Structure formats: structure tokens, C-alpha cells
């Protein structure tokens, strides 16, 4: 143990004994548990639960419990068409200006003619808050708050006046409700008042006969788009023993006070009477919520009947049954992957303390916890039939969240799904697939109206209403590649699964995206290469311009296009369709501008060699490195010169950036097979600068992409499978010299288990799902193997 860490540990132990009368180590945490010795004071200390649709952040106060609530379809606005009808007429002049080097003038013309109306999309919003007011917390001890990733149950426990109290809270994907179970180790001890509030336009009613609170509301308008959704949250309080009555205004004002302390805007006028429970033995609260959203153009759902049915079904199940079916459904997904990178006594410390000390180097299990937390989050925020993970997954306490907590599709949404396939959570991609298929409809309108083109297009953002026109301003918004990049996530799902029915389902999206570019690519004047125009290298200023990022043919666009075109023609061949179109795509692909290595040996970000003149050399986006990761066009063995150039670009950019941008760098260094470098960046990602106490990623502010990108990076360090070759331990850092992993997935339809010792592979077992013959590499040795579907290949790396 390094001495600095030892000192840190000694200090923490001493502090723990002084500050906290109950010994921190009195209860050792199960290994996959986040735990804390204090209630959350801030939202980024609260613990997330979710069932893909309903989410809650749990604060865990002794005197007052607070659950901040979300429902994944509660966004502002309603169906709308943001396409700008002036765009098509302005397009030829914009292109002329760009090719003439008059970038700032082009940006001005784009700004006045080509941006969406309204200029910004609709925000994802909070539903409201559940408050349980227990009265005093004076004299409470033995406090513990945790989140068990293996069961997906959060709990809070403490002792007060000699009675030990426990709360268990989870969001069930089976029963579609949030369940809160309150117990005590002595009868008749549970007394509290319960209420629901919301910053939305909402009103509360209560029905004492059924012990139900009902919050009815409508969503807000935003940016001139009228709110079109109704929503309802319904809370049922099932008591065992004791009495229940209306709590009256006192409870309501206590809740308002708590909202103020938590930094939530006060809405006391809407905090109608809740319930008071006195002297119960145990209580189960079930909470359902729904909106009238059916899909991006239909808001005719009936939330009242949905919540009524859900509460009726859930109330009919006894608590142990609710818990058991929830845990089983979660574990079916969660338990597919086991990771062991070693353990030390540091894992018995509270999670926030461990985050503060991870960089000191003696807590490998925290990387395991971080990895599994991301898998937990994806299961909790992206389930079949629901919405894809937003910038904040499912968890947002605001009406005006950062970047609207929506879908930024110039990196962030794609990154959210990087670990989905490699980390064995393939089902979680379904909401993304569904969103992309829906965007082919809205995006076809944008393609037609704004470009006079066929196919479909999406720019750098979308929202619940699947808006696809360019938003925010030319410098971030005028980028026509968002849909094409999302298609690559879908293609990955096919590569991992080999599922031809899925390929057939997504083929129209690939084809439509390719069609758009066949119609809109233009020849640049110098070499006659085909390029996108106007476009930009995501959010990085064009060094040849005064103050815009507008350009033609940035490297990233061409890399995405090469993938899109390749995957589209491959799909058309596999499915036996559209051979004439495939020939056109192949011809266009041959004319795309090539990847270029610049004068400093770097991979050029733009058509011209401008990288070293960049306004910000350390820009967070590393868009031109898309070719190295997530794509595999640049490869250390197949294209060593380009890989060296990508490495040079990465060195110029530096290791430390915002949360997601740091996470991207981990994946890139793993692809360059430098495990120690990747690990050193992980140490920064897993420090308080980029990880909040509850393990949420800090952009800052909170953005969930860093969690997902970080987990993907850890997986890439252990296993890679691009270019039809499984690579075992390609970037194993010294810090993880001995370990094992079970259940990581590889492209081609494989599941891989591995163990290693002192930096050497001891055994790999490759389970074949589809019976494909394949190659596997360990170090310099490559083996060809052929096993039947359902059988496995074993190798000790020799």
C-alpha cells in the first residue's frame, strides 16, 4: 500500500471514529454496493433507482425522506415541426461561401436561414417529489444509506430511541411502480406523513378510503411549443397496523421547507393535504406515474387508467413477492457480467471517501464498482419499450436542466450505448433503435424541406418529439451527421448478435441515411473529393475562420460516411436487396476525401492541415478520432501509420477533459493498446473532479455519458473484437495484474470469460452463440477456431 494512501486511510479511520460514533466498519458492504454514512445533502449525493421509465433519486434523511421523481416521457411541448422553409434556397450560396473560405459569412447566412424554428428543442423535465416526514432526527445513530447494484434495491437504516428502522426502495420493471417499504424492529413504531408536490402545473387530491394520493398535471410549453401532455402520479399507502388520516397543511408546509433546503423551487400552494400514518408496524408505499405520450406524434394516452391499473396490480402482490420478482428481473440482466480486478480493505470505506482516494492507487475494486454501476444505470434507464437514456439517463430534478437533458447526438447519446453490447446488455439498445426508426420519418421531412434531398437526416440534437432540424446555432447545430452516427450504434447491435431479422428492421434507417448523402455530398474545388457542406467538426472552431466552426468535409464526417456506406452495402448484400443502390454507394465511397496525416504527424481534423492553429488545442471533442474508436477504420495493426497519427492527435489534445471527453480518451488509448495510459485517465475520471459522491459522472454538471463511456473503456482494456478478431487483454494495465472477468461480449456472437495472473492470461473461454468460425489473439499469437453454436473454445494464450 503506498504510504500516501496509508496516511489517507489512517486519517479517514481516525476521522470516522471521532465524527461518527458508530464504527464505519461495523457493517461491511457487500462488494457491489454504494454506501454512505450520511443522508444526501445535494442531488448528486442522492442515489438513483429506475425501471427504464420511472426514476427516483433517494436522499435518505432520517427526519424526512425525499424522492425526486421522473417519468421518461414527461418533456415540455408537444408534437412539432421545426424545419426551416428558407433553408433550401440559402443552401447554394452557403456552399459557395464555404468553398470560397468565407466561413463567417456562411455562418451568418446559416444563422438567418437554416436553423430550426424554434431555435432550441424541448427539455426533459422533473415530475415532482415525494416527501415522507418522520419528524425528528435528533439522537439517531447507526445510520447507513446504500444502493445494492446486484439487487437494485436502495436502503436506509438507522436507530432512533432504541428502535432500528429500515427503508427499502426500488423501481420494479415488472410491476412498473416504485416501491418503498418501511419497517422497524419493534411493533407500532412507524409514524410519518406523506405528500407529493410538483413544480409542473399540477394539483393533488386524496382519497382516504383507498389510502391514495393522486397528482394530476399537464406539461409546460417551451419556446413557443404548447404543452400537450397530461400526466398523473398515484401513491398508495398500505399500512400494517396503526392509523391513517389526512395530514393537513402542517405536513405540507414542512415539505415546502424541505424543498427549500434541497434547493427545489417552492410550490407550497400545490402541496395539498397528504396522509399521516401513526403507530404502524410496517408500511408499503407504491407509486405509479404515466403521461399521455404514446409516441412522437400521438399524445392521446390515458395516464389515469395506466396508474390506476398499475397500482391495483402492485397492491395485490404482497411485499416479498414484489421484491422477489423485481430482483429476479434485474439479476437476469445484471448478473451476466462478473468482474474481479482485485480487492483491498479500501472497499469497506464509504463510496464518497473511496472516490476521493482512488487516484492513490490501492482500490482496484472501485473500478469494478464504477463499471458495474454503469451497467446498473443502463438497465435502470433504458429498457425495451421505453425512451433511450438522455444526457442524464432518466434522472433530472429540473424544468430547465443543463442542455435540456435531452439527446445530444454528436457524441453523448452514442456514448451512452457504447457499453451496451460489450457489457452484455444488448436488450437495453431497443429504445435507441426505436428512436432512430422514428427519426427516419421526421428526418425525411427535414431532408426534403431543408436540402431538397431524399432519405433522412438528423443534426446534433433530438428530443422526445424526434426533432431533426439544426438547432442552437451554426457552430454546434449545422452538422448533418447525427442520424448517420446513430446508425452505427444500430449496426453494432447486428455485429454482436448476428440477428438478421434485426438487420432487416434497421436497414431502412441505414439506407435512408445513405440516400441523403448520395443526394447532398458535393465535390470540393481542390481535389474534387466528395464532402459534406456545410458541416463542422463537432463544436471545434474552424481555425481558418474568425469565429465559426462551419467548414466542408471535416474528417469525422468522412469517417462516419465510410462506415455508413460500408454497412449499408454489406446489409443490402446480406438481405439480397437494392443492388443498384449499393453500386451507387460504392462509387460515391471511392470519391470521399481520404484521411490525411498533417505536418506534425497528426491525423488531420479538417481537409486542410490546420490542427496546430486550433483556437483550443485541448478541445474536449476528439471527433476525428472516431475512426479509431468507436469505429475500427484506424487500427494499430492494419493501418499503423494512421494509428500513429491518431496517437499524435491524442497527445496534442491531452488526457483531461470534461467527463464524457475523458471517458472517450480511455477508449482511444485502449484501442492504441496502452493500458497504463488508459488507466491513468481512468484515475482522473474516477476522482471527485469528474465523479460525484453518488458516482454520477461530472461533466460537470452531471451527465451520464461519462459513466457509460468509462465502463466501455474498462471493457475495451480487457477485451476488443473489432475487425473480426477477438483480442484478449489488449490493454491490461499493471494496476490490474491479476483478475478475472466473465460475460463480456465480442462481435461475431461470442461471450468471453477470462482469468489472468501477474499480467498473463491463464485461461480464456469463448462461448459461441452463433457457431461462426473466428480468430482470437493474445499478444502476438493468433488462433483460428471453429466451434458449434452453444459450444466453447478454450485457450491459455500459449
Q: Which of 351, 356, 352 is nearest to 687 (CA)?
A: 356
Tell me which residue has cell 456562411: 106
Q: Which of 238, 293, 250 is nearest to 125 (CA)?
A: 293
Nearer to ligand FUC, 412 or 596 (CB): 412
Nearer to ligand FUC, 604 or 658 (CB): 658
Binding site for ligand FUC (CB under 6 A): 391, 403, 408, 412, 476, 539, 620, 658, 660, 699, 703
Min separation Cβ 676 and ligand FUC, Å: 27
Nearer to ligand FUC, 549 or 569 (CB): 549
Q: Cα dist. 283→191, 242, 321, 458, 640 in Å?
A: 10, 10, 15, 49, 63
Nearer to ligand FUC, 123 or 274 (CB): 123
Nearer to ligand FUC, 14 or 689 (CB): 689
Min separation Cβ 753 and ligand FUC, Å: 35
Min separation Cβ 549 and ligand FUC, Å: 11
Nearer to ligand FUC, 189 or 382 (CB): 382
Contact indicator for 114, 264 with CB cutoff of 8 Å: no
Min separation Cβ 223 and ligand FUC, Å: 17
Separation of alpha carbons 781 and 492, rounded Å = 26
DSSP string, 171-207: EETTTTEEEEEEEESSTT-EEEEEEEE-SSEEEEEEE
Nearer to ligand FUC, 649 or 658 (CB): 658
Nearer to ligand FUC, 699 or 747 (CB): 699
Task: Provide the edge-to-edge strand list for the sheet that holds 275-280.
Answer: 47-50, 54-58, 64-71, 128-133, 190-197, 275-280, 243-246
**761, 765, 766, 767 alpha-carbon torsion, rounded to 10°:** -160
Nearer to ligand FUC, 392 or 488 (CB): 392
Backbone angles phi, psi at 667, to 5 degrees: -60, -40
Tell me which residue has cell 424526434: 466
Separation of alpha carbons 699 and 734, rounded Å = 28
Nearer to ligand FUC, 703 or 712 (CB): 703
Nearer to ligand FUC, 352 or 539 (CB): 539
Nearer to ligand FUC, 303 or 393 (CB): 393
User: Strands, DSSP E only, in 241-310?
Assistant: 243-246, 275-280, 282-291
Min separation Cβ 410 and ligand FUC, Å: 6
Name, in order, each residue with C-beta under 8 angstroms of 556's C-beta and a sequence gap of 6 or more: 481, 537, 538, 605, 623, 624, 626
C-beta atoms surrounding 612 within 10 Å? 12
Nearer to ligand FUC, 619 or 767 (CB): 619
Contact indicator for 351, 32 with CB cutoff of 8 Å: no
Min separation Cβ 103 and ligand FUC, Å: 20
Min separation Cβ 84 and ligand FUC, Å: 21
Bridge partners of 765, per DSSP, are 753, 794
Min separation Cβ 620 and ligand FUC, Å: 6
Min separation Cβ 412 and ligand FUC, Å: 5
Nearer to ligand FUC, 170 or 660 (CB): 660
Contact indicator for 754, 764 with CB cutoff of 8 Å: yes
Q: Which of 560, 559, 542, 562 is nearest to 550 (CA)?
A: 542
What's the CA angle centered on 463, arms 461 and 469, to 5 degrees?
50
Separation of alpha carbons 741 and 773, rounded Å = 23
Nearer to ligand FUC, 362 or 412 (CB): 412
Separation of alpha carbons 520 and 456, rounded Å = 11
User: Strands, DSSP E only, in 707-759?
Assistant: 719-720, 726-728, 739-746, 750-757
Nearer to ligand FUC, 157 or 412 (CB): 412
Backbone angles phi, psi at 646, to 5 degrees: -65, -40
Min separation Cβ 392 and ligand FUC, Å: 10
Three-state secondary structure call for residue 230:
strand
Min separation Cβ 388 and ligand FUC, Å: 15
Nearer to ligand FUC, 144 or 699 (CB): 699
Min separation Cβ 711 and ligand FUC, Å: 17
Contact indicator for 346, 366 with CB cutoff of 8 Å: yes
Name, in order, each residue with C-beta under 8 angstroms of 693's C-beta and a sequence gap of 6 or more: 36, 44, 45, 351, 352, 355
Nearer to ligand FUC, 647 or 699 (CB): 699
Min separation Cβ 37 and ligand FUC, Å: 32
| Maximum pairwise Cα distance, the chain | 83
| C-alpha cell of residue 322 | 414484489
User: Strands, DSSP E only, in 282-384?
Assistant: 282-291, 338-340
Min separation Cβ 30 and ligand FUC, Å: 34
Min separation Cβ 411 and ligand FUC, Å: 6
Separation of alpha carbons 745 and 242, rounded Å = 52
Separation of alpha carbons 539 and 460, rounded Å = 10
Contact indicator for 777, 725 with CB cutoff of 8 Å: yes
C-beta atoms surrounding 105 within 10 Å? 18
Q: Cα dist. 249→64, 195, 253, 261 in Å?
A: 16, 10, 6, 19
Min separation Cβ 702 and ligand FUC, Å: 11
Min separation Cβ 621 and ligand FUC, Å: 6
C-beta atoms surrounding 26 within 10 Å? 9
CB crowding 478-501: b at 16 or more within 10 Å, else e? bbbbbbbbbbbbbbbbbbbbeeee
**420, 423, 426, 431 alpha-carbon torsion, rounded to 10°:** -20
Amino acid at each position: 500500500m503506498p504510504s500516501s494512501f496509508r496516511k489517507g486511510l489512517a486519517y479517514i479511520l481516525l476521522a470516522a471514529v471521532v465524527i461518527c460514533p458508530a464504527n464505519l466498519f461495523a457493517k461491511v458492504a457487500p462488494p457491489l454496493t454504494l454506501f454512505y454514512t450520511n443522508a444526501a445533502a445535494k442531488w448528486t449525493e442522492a442515489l438513483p433507482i429506475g425501471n427504464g421509465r420511472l426514476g427516483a433519486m433517494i436522499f435518505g434523511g432520517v427526519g424526512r425522506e425525499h424522492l425526486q421523481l421522473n417519468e421518461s416521457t414527461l418533456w415540455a411541448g408537444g408534437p412539432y415541426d421545426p424545419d426551416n422553409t428558407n433553408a433550401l434556397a440559402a443552401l447554394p450560396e452557403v456552399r459557395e461561401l464555404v468553398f470560397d473560405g468565407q466561413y463567417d459569412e456562411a455562418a451568418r447566412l446559416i444563422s438567418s436561414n437554416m436553423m430550426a424554428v424554434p431555435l432550441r428543442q424541448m427539455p426533459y423535465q422533473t415530475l415532482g417529489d415525494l416527501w415522507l416526514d418522520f419528524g425528528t432526527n435528533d439522537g439517531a445513530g447507526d445510520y447507513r444509506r446504500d444502493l445494492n447494484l446486484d439487487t437494485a434495491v436502495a436502503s436506509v437504516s438507522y436507530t432512533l430511541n432504541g428502535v432500528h428502522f429500515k427503508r427499502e426502495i426500488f423501481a420494479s420493471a415488472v410491476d412498473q411502480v416504485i416501491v418503498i417499504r418501511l419497517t422497524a424492529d419493534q411493533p407500532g413504531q412507524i409514524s410519518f406523513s406523506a405528500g407529493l408536490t410538483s413544480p409542473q402545473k399540477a394539483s393533488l387530491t386524496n382519497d382516504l378510503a383507498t389510502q391514495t394520493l393522486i397528482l394530476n398535471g399537464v406539461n409546460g410549453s417551451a419556446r413557443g411549443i404548447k404543452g400537450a401532455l397530461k400526466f398523473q402520479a398515484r401513491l398508495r399507502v398500505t399500512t400494517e397496523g396503526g392509523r391513517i388520516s389526512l395530514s393537513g397543511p402542517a405536513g405540507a408546509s414542512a415539505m415546502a421547507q424541505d424543498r427549500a433546503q434541497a434547493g427545489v423551487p417552492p410550490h407550497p400552494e400545490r402541496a395539498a393535504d397528504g396522509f399521516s400514518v401513526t403507530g404502524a408496524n410496517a408500511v408499503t408505499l407504491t407509486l405509479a406515474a404515466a403521461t399521455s405520450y404514446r409516441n412522437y406524434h400521438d399524445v392521446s394516452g390515458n395516464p389515469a387508467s395506466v396508474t390506476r391499473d398499475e397500482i391495483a396490480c402492485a397492491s395485490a402482490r404482497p411485499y416479498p413477492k414484489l421484491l422477489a420478482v423485481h430482483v429476479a428481473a434485474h439479476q437476469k440482466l445484471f448478473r451476466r457480467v462478473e468482474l474481479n480486478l482485485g480487492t483491498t480493505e479500501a472497499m469497506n470505506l464509504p463510496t464518497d471517501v473511496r472516490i476521493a482516494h482512488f487516484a492513490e492507487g490501492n482500490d482496484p475494486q472501485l473500478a469494478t464498482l464504477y463499471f458495474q454501476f454503469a451497467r446498473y444505470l443502463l438497465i435502470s434507464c433504458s429498457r425495451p419499450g421505453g425512451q433511450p437514456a438522455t444526457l442524464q439517463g432518466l434522472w433530472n430534478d429540473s424544468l430547465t436542466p443543463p442542455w435540456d437533458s435531452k439527446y445530444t447526438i454528436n457524441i453523448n447519446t452514442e456514448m451512452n450505448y457504447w457499453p451496451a453490447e460489450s457489457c452484455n446488455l444488448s436488450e437495453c439498445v431497443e429504445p435507441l433503435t426505436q428512436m432512430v426508426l422514428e427519426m427516419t420519418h421526421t428526418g425525411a421531412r427535414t431532408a426534403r424541406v431543408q436540402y431538397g434531398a431524399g432519405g433522412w437526416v438528423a443534426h446534433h440534437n433530438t428530443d422526445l418529439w424526434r426533432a431533426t432540424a439544426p438547432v442552437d446555432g451554426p457552430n454546434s447545430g449545422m452538422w448533418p451527421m447525427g442520424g448517420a452516427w446513430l446508425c452505427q450504434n444500430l449496426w453494432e447491435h447486428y455485429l454482436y448478435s448476428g440477428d438478421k431479422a434485426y438487420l432487416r428492421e434497421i436497414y431502412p434507417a441505414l439506407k435512408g441515411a445513405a440516400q441523403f448523402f448520395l443526394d447532398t455530398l458535393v465535390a470540393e474545388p481542390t481535389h474534387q473529393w466528395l464532402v459534406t457542406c456545410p458541416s463542422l467538426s463537432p463544436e471545434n472552431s474552424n481555425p481558418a475562420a474568425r469565429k465559426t466552426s462551419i467548414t466542408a468535409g471535416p474528417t469525422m464526417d468522412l469517417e462516419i460516411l465510410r462506415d455508413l456506406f460500408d454497412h449499408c452495402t454489406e446489409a443490402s448484400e446480406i438481405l439480397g436487396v437494392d443492388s443498384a443502390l449499393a453500386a451507387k454507394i460504392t462509387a460515391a465511397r471511392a470519391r470521399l476525401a481520404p484521411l490525411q496525416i498533417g505536418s506534425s504527424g497528426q491525423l488531420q481534423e479538417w481537409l486542410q492541415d490546420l490542427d496546430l492553429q486550433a483556437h483550443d488545442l485541448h478541445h474536449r471533442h476528439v471527433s476525428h478520432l472516431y475512426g479509431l474508436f468507436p469505429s475500427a477504420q484506424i487500427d494499430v495493426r492494419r493501418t499503423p501509420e494512421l494509428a500513429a497519427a491518431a496517437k499524435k492527435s491524442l497527445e496534442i489534445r491531452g488526457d483531461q477533459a470534461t467527463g464524457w471527453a475523458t471517458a472517450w480518451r480511455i477508449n482511444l488509448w485502449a484501442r492504441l493498446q496502452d493500458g497504463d495510459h488508459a488507466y491513468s485517465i481512468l484515475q482522473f475520471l474516477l476522482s471527485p473532479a469528474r465523479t460525484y459522491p453518488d458516482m454520477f459522472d461530472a461533466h460537470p454538471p452531471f451527465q451520464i455519458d461519462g459513466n457509460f463511456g468509462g465502463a466501455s473503456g474498462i471493457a475495451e482494456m480487457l477485451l476488443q473484437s473489432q475487425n473480426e478478431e477477438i483480442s484478449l487483454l489488449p490493454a491490461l494495465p499493471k494496476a490490474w495484474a491479476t483478475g478475472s472477468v466473465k460475460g463480456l461480449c465480442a462481435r461475431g456472437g461470442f461471450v468471453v470469460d477470462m482469468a489472468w495472473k501477474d499480467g498473463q492470461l491463464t485461461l480464456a473461454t469463448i462461448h459461441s452463440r452463433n457457431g461462426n468460425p473466428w480468430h482470437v489473439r493474445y499478444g502476438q499469437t493468433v488462433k483460428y477456431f471453429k466451434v458449434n453454436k452453444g459450444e466453447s473454445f478454450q485457450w491459455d494464450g500459449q
